[in-house]
Structure 1
Amino acid sequence: MPERLRPTLAEAIARHGLDARKSLGQHFLLDPSITGRIAALPGPLEGRHVVEVGPGPGGLTRALLDAGAASVTAIEVDPRAAALIGELAAGEDGRLRLIEADATRLDLAGLTGTPRQVVANLPYNVGTPLLVGWLRQAALWERLTLMFQLEVAERICAAPDTDAYGRLAVLAQWVCTTDIVLRVPPGAFVPPPKVWSAVVRLTPREKQPDPVLFGAMERLTAAAFGQRRKMLRGALAGLGGEALLERAGIDPRRRAETLSVAEFERLAGCLVS
């Protein structure tokens, strides 16, 4: 539906009494110039089926529809926001579908056709676990375009031997190319968070690990970075320690943050072989 035929965001928010709730990690993005930019970041959306988690009042939802997405499936746990999105969906000729549920409990890839993408301003309190779940099934997604707190975005894209490099960087960069494509100041949100936010674009690699290898990588990175100040022979003692490291050709005196993603992949391969 063209924007001029919809209630304005301000009208919709007022009618539904929708204020952002800290308990739900909500910070609403209402500026149409910014939501429009975010909707353009995944590339052309014509023919794509988009999943949006935490649409709130629907600012980004409107931008995704206006960008030409074949469909938008909005997942919203807040009944106040769900009522607003449901009202918006009634005027969108079936292109917008609302699912009122907790996104962490859903198989989101099973909700829509292909090619499928996620584009979302993620609630702060569930962004990281949602991302890890999507990485486990990266082959099912064409692209993930996700807004996080800037600190989390930097952790996803961090290089080895930096303070931000850790488990999230290894998992994300192993199965996707990752780029910070937009930084957003606190003042763009209502209410303003205390920190900057950033949009990360993740594009799954052509070759993806099988579930067994991905599970091994999850265990490996959890152990390695769970005691990141220890040498790897100590941090990985429960997974084979020095014997595992020697099989992978990695000095057991090194620490987790010094290993490249390729070296972690080699270790994970040894763990399952």
Structure 2
Amino acid sequence: MAAIDGLPSLAQVIRTHDLVAKKQLGQNFLLDLNLTSKIARCAGDLTQCDVLEVGPGPGGLTRGLLAEGARRVLAVEKDARCMPALAEIAMIYPGRLEVVNADALGLDISAHLTPPVRVVANLPYNVGTELLIRWLSPEHWPPFWQSLTLMFQKEVAQRIVAKPGDKAYGRLALLAQWRAEPKIVMSLPPEAFSPAPKVHSAVVHLTRLEQPRFEANAAALSRITAMGFNQRRKMLRSSLKAMGPDIEAKLTQVGIAPTARAEEISLEQFCALSRLYD
């Protein structure tokens, strides 16, 4: 698909504005407008939503979101070189695209968005996991967003949806699945990007839960899972011994064998253990 809105192809946009992807910014541009539109559709009906996009680059996904009917898009881009290309898109969609030249890690977006809000982004590889954790760990729940539709390295995507016993199962899976329903909705090969990364990528769609899946003390859950998975090959009675001398009794109380390892324990069991330390 050369264009979806009368604008030039993304390859031409990159040439015109000399947008060579920068490795230090975690940039890998997705140039196929068929694919960017497909990602936008993975986010669901956007016609009544504001959409937050982080790292739009030359605007391929931005164009897909607007063409698919997003009520309004807030595009947060750290790289000032991309501003002229994004301004051209804003002219085609007057009043529907706001572009902010800022680092998403330090931006308060609350003044820029009107609920309901969906987050859709081909996240820069170097900040993707950190942003996901922030969006899953606000002070108050439910958060500002209804859903997250995010591109990650495939290995990260698999960690988000992993189940007990899976090699990829760990803290990221527990955090995501405690408060949201995640699923991988799309996979992409390296050659879909410019420059081509060394790994495959995948899009994960997370739908928020109005309440966490199981009652838990967030601070205790974070500490227990950190201790358990930081020494994932150790038995829990050893990796969690800093929780107190009665850790074996508490593990047994919630139905966890003290000789089990963190990768074998379900989210529900971890939450039950956290409640004992509330």
TM over 0.5: yes
Q: What CA distance in whole angstroms lies between the structure 2 residues aligned with 1:243 and 1:107?
A: 44
TM-score between both structures, scaled by the size of structure 2: 0.91
CA contact (8 A) 1:171 1:217 kept: no
Whether 1:264 aligns to 2:270 is yes
Which residue pairs with 1:52 in the alignment?
Answer: 53
Separation in 2, partners of 1:210, 1:78: 40
Equivalent-residue separation in structure 2 for 1:239 and 1:82 (angstroms): 50
How many residue pairs get matched?
Answer: 271
Secondary structure class of the residue paired with 2:136? helix
Aligned partner of 2:44: which letter?
G
* 1:202 alignment partner in structure 2: 206
Q: Which residue of 1 aligns with 2:16?
A: 15
CA contact (8 A) 1:45 1:70 kept: yes
* 8 Å contact from structure 1 (residues 247, 270) kept in 2: no
Give the corresponding residue for 2:175. Answer: 171
Deviations 1:8-44 (A, max 9, x none): 4233222221011111111000101111110100111
Query: In the alignment, what sits opposite 1:230?
Result: 234
- Alpha-carbon deviations, 1:21-71, whole Å to 9, x = none? 111111000101111110100111111110001101100000000011111
Deviation of the 1:104 alpha carbon? 1.5
Tell whether the 8 Å contact from 1:121 to 1:148 is kept in structure 2 after alignment.
yes
Matches within 5 A, 1:127-142: 127-137=128-138, 139-140=142-143, 141-142=145-146
Deviates further, 141-150 or 7-16: 7-16
* Partner Cα distance (2:109, 2:216) in 1: 21
Question: Could you say which residue in structure 1 is the equivalent of 2:105?
Answer: 104
Deviates further, 138-147 or 3-12: 3-12
Work out the CA distance in 1 between the residues paired with 2:6 and 2:34.
Answer: 18
Q: Distance in 2 between matches of 1:88 and 1:170?
A: 38
Deviation of 1:109 after TM superposition, in Å, equals 4.9
Equivalent-residue separation in structure 1 for 2:4 and 2:109 (angstroms) = 27
Residues 217 and 264 of structure 1 are in contact (CA less than 8 Å); yes or no, is this contact kept in structure 2? Answer: yes
For the residue of structure 2 that corresponds to 1:5, the secondary structure is: coil
How large is the RMSD of aligned CA atoms in angstroms? 2.1
Between 1:187-196 and 1:90-99, the stretch displaced more is 90-99
* Cα distance in 2, alignment partners of residues 263 and 179 from structure 1: 22
Judged with a 3 Å threshold, the aligned counterparts in structure 2 of structure 1 residues 261 and 5 are, in CA distance, closer, same or farther, namely same
Q: Could you tell me which runs of 5 or more consecutive residues in structure 1 were left unpaired when the two chains were aligned.
A: none
Residues 1-273 of structure 1 correspond to what in structure 2 (within 5 A)?
A: 3-109=4-110, 111-137=112-138, 139-140=142-143, 141-208=145-212, 213-240=217-244, 241-272=247-278
Could you tell me how far apart the structure 1 residues matched to 2:215 and 2:50 are? 25
Partner letter of residue 125 of structure 1?
N
Residue aligned with 1:160, SS:
coil
Instruction: Give percent identity, aligned residues only.
Output: 49
Structure 1 pair 211–267 and aligned structure 2 pair: CA distance change class (3 A): closer
User: Which ranges of 4 or more aligned residues in structure 1 deviate by more than 6 Å?
Assistant: 209-212
What SS is found at the alignment partner of 1:265?
A: helix
- The answer (yes or no) to whether the contact 2:150–2:203 under 8 Å persists in 1 is yes
More helix by share: 1
- The offset of 1:212, in angstroms, is 8.5
Task: Report the CA distance between 1:90 and its aligned residue.
Answer: 3.5
* Structure 2: distance between partners of 1:30 and 1:108: 27
Give the unaligned 5+ runs of structure 2.
none
Q: Secondary structure at the match of 1:170?
A: helix
